[in-house]
Amino acid sequence: MVRNGTSKGIFMFLILLICFAAIVFIGTEVFQVENIEVICSGALDKDAIINTSGISYGENIFKISREKVKQRIESSAPFPVVEGISVKLPDEVLIIVEERVPAAIIPYLSSHITVDSSGFVLDIVKQTRQPSYPVVEGISISRLTKGRPLEVAQDGIYKQKVLIRMLEALEQWDVIDMILTMSMDDPDDIFLTTRDGIRIKLGQAVELDRKLGWLKSTAYAEVLQKGEAGVFDVSVPGKAVFYPQSLSEEQEGEEEQTDEEDGTQGENEVTG
């Protein structure tokens, strides 16, 4: 019994000794931050990221709070997304950030709200005559804070979800620069206006890969060659129909009725 008690006491003493040595070792200059490496996209300034991170050179590397560093960086303009923070012993910190890219503008009172594809508010500026990004119409804002996600009224949550889905798809298909306006008055009957002056009837925000793909098709290129304004209807996936502005609603209706009777295609109809 005595021998067992003595062995246990020695074992506990060794553990305490190791812990004490580890504490002393960790507190030495060996684990002080000497290098902060930033990997970033776009036009982000690495020095600015380091400054907003709050990490100081000479700081103990084990005392760095990744969560606080992430909050500091993401809450400071230009509000990048922190993809990861890691440490490389003994003295290096690695920060990976991604730039938020403006995707659209939402008019609000006398201002233009610049948002990214997730609906995050990047900037608030006075309205300009020629905005650089698509102008979204039909979104009612309930609360506005720069550096925070856009907040809409309770009855506008569905519109907000559709808007985000649309912006993500426009970016994915690399056609966002082609769009001048986006009408969200009816989120189940969306209309886009291109910078070429063509209205795009998109309908519901479903099968967007097939619908937006028409903007890069030869069918759309042929519409532009005509040099005439009108509606390019892609609301039915796999089908595109161009209605020139010169056609009256009555003429358009008569054509559609004739097509149904004859089984022929409508005005400039393309399937695919």
The rounded distance, in Å, linking the Cα atoms of 268 and 240 is 8
> What is the rounded CA–CA span in Å between residue 189 and residue 82?
36
Q: Which amino acid is at 234?
A: V
Cross-strand pairs, 120: 149
Q: Which residues of the chain have pLDDT under 70?
A: 1-29, 247-272
Decide: 103 and 170 in contact? Cβ < 8 Å.
yes
CA trace torsion 122, 124, 129, 135 (10° rounding): 50
Q: Is residue 35 helix, strand or coil?
A: strand
Distance CA 213, CA 217 (A): 7
Instruction: Please report the beta strands in 81-189, taking only residues with DSSP state E, as ranges in sequence order.
Output: 81-88, 92-98, 102-108, 111-116, 121-126, 135-137, 141-143, 151-152, 179-183
Q: Which pLDDT value is given to residue 131?
A: 84
Which tokens in the block code for residue 64?
Answer: 């760095």
Report CA 207 to chain centroid distance, whole Å. Answer: 19
User: What pLDDT is stored for residue 9 in this prediction?
Assistant: 64
The type of residue at 47 is D
CATH 3.10.20.310 location in the chain: 31-99
Distance in Å from the first CA to the final CA of the chain:
87
Largest CA distance in the chain: 107
Kindly give, in sequence order, each residue whose CB lies less than 8 Å from that of residue 239, ignoring residues fewer than 6 positions away: 269, 270, 271, 272
Instruction: Residue 39: count other Cβ atoms within 10 Å of its Cβ.
Output: 14
**CA atoms of 124 and 112, how far apart (whole Å):** 6
pLDDT digit string, tens, across residues 220-247: 999 999 999 999 999 998 999 999 987 6
Neighbours of 56 (CB within 10 A): 12
- Arch. (CATH architecture) of 31-99: Roll (3.10)
106: left (phi over 0), alpha (psi -120 to 50) or beta: beta
